[in-house]
Amino acid sequence: MNIPGSRSAEGPSARSQVRWSLRWENELRLADHAELADFFRNSYGPTGSSNARPFEGNRSWAGARPEVRAIGYDARGVAAHVGLLRRFIKIGGVDLLVAELGLYAVRPDLEGLGISHSMRVMYPALQEFGVPFAFGTVRPTLEKHLTRLVGRQGLATLMSGIRVRSTHRDVYSNLSPIRIEDVLVVVFPLGRPISEWPAGTIIDRNGPEL
């Protein structure tokens, strides 16, 4: 669940000017992918050139490809984005269907204006996808940001002390095909209560991060 850093100032007027669209991947045209790729390069580039590299050309995804996207638009184009992919993960030997959230970004000129709070527009849609939980991972340094965004409203539970095992998006001759990360896990209880989330300190994604 890639999330660039965000400042904390609020700007209700900026939020109200963002129009949200829920788009299935098959609905996106070449022009949409090109616009999103440019958006991600500009959003992730300030955090490091390697973070922008996956979006070269017209590629609008980094690792796994989402099946549906919530895209926020304003007068300047794409303002914010979050992607969703239904997949099975394994926790402590238990296979669990989740909706993984990722590709979260806000256009740099809107950071700190409260636009990130509009990402909660995805939450009602999640409840229609027939999965027990939505799931994402972020860097531990973003714990305060995520607590403000979804934790305080009771939309999600944040879990630390968990390692996530994934594959790289490509196979490299000088790297193991598997990556293990100590991350903050964000879980949205949808069809089942958080008490039914399987116990375990290692999550196998069995594929690349969204």
- Tens of pLDDT, residue by residue over 18-29, are 888 899 999 999
Indicate the pairing of strand 202-204 with strand 77-91. antiparallel
Q: What is the pLDDT of residue 5?
A: 45
- Give the C-alpha separation, 150 to 147, whole Å: 6
pLDDT reported for residue 7: 40
Which residues are 88's β-sheet partners?
Answer: 97
CA distance 68 to 210: 12
Say what the pLDDT of residue 119 is. 66
Residue entry with tokens 């008490």: 195
- Segments of the chain with pLDDT less than 70: 1-16, 112-119, 151-152
Q: Is 18 helix (H, G, I), strand (E, B) or coil?
A: coil
Note the pTM of the prediction, 2 decimals.
Answer: 0.85
What's the pLDDT score for residue 185? 93
